Amino acid sequence: MLLIAGLGNPGATYAKTRHNIGFMAVDEIARRWGFGPFRSKFASFVCEGAIATPTGAVRALILKPQTFYNESGRAVSEALKFFKIEPENLVVFYDEIDLAPGRFRMKAGGGAAGNNGVRSITASVGPYFRRARLGTGHPGQKELVHGHVLSEFHKADQQWVGPLIEAVAEAAPLLAAGEDEKYQTEVMRLAPADKADPRKAARDGA
């Protein structure tokens, strides 16, 4: 069984913010693959279903922690323990400010790179889980990061947000099959995005 967790903050206030793109991604996966309705469990909203792959359907649980972003590890660890899922079968979708808007990268293991949600999960289950990083861009200055991630996407951002969310769901059979490199490639094929982040370039003096 695969556990797919999206990171975000609960409540309508945060629903459209950059920090909640992880919620948006797993919501679309659930919709695209006909998962059951969300219910409350593990201090989260969860739903179950299956993702079709060439070798058969893979059962999956989608998890949206309601603990607030920085405490995501508590909810994730509860679900892993209940279903006896190894961290290697955990995929976490979250916003990545060090990737240009619309870029997508898969990574297994490693550090938190300043992401408090990932840090919380690492503290609870260890670092050996799969990370699906959704680029939201850097505001240009370190002191602006907090406000940036908690701000809503601009209207112009919808040019890449929608296609990226649809792509991660459409390509999900590769994710379910454990083909992370192919999954990353297919998402970027379906939703191409520039590698350069103009705000980061301005910050670096480029």
**What residues are labeled active site?**
19
- Residues 150 and 12: beta-carbon distance below 8 Å: no
The answer to whether residues 175 and 183 touch, using CB atoms and an 8 Å cutoff, is yes
Edge-to-edge strands, sheet with 2-6: 39-41, 44-53, 56-65, 2-6, 90-96, 130-135, 104-108
Give the residue among 161, 154, 64, 160 at the shortest CA–CA distance from 117: 64
Helix, coil or strand: residue 149: helix
Contacts of 99 (CB under 8 A, 6+ apart): 105, 133, 134, 135, 136, 137, 197
**Rounded Cα–Cα distance for residues 126 and 189 (Å):** 31
SS3 199: helix
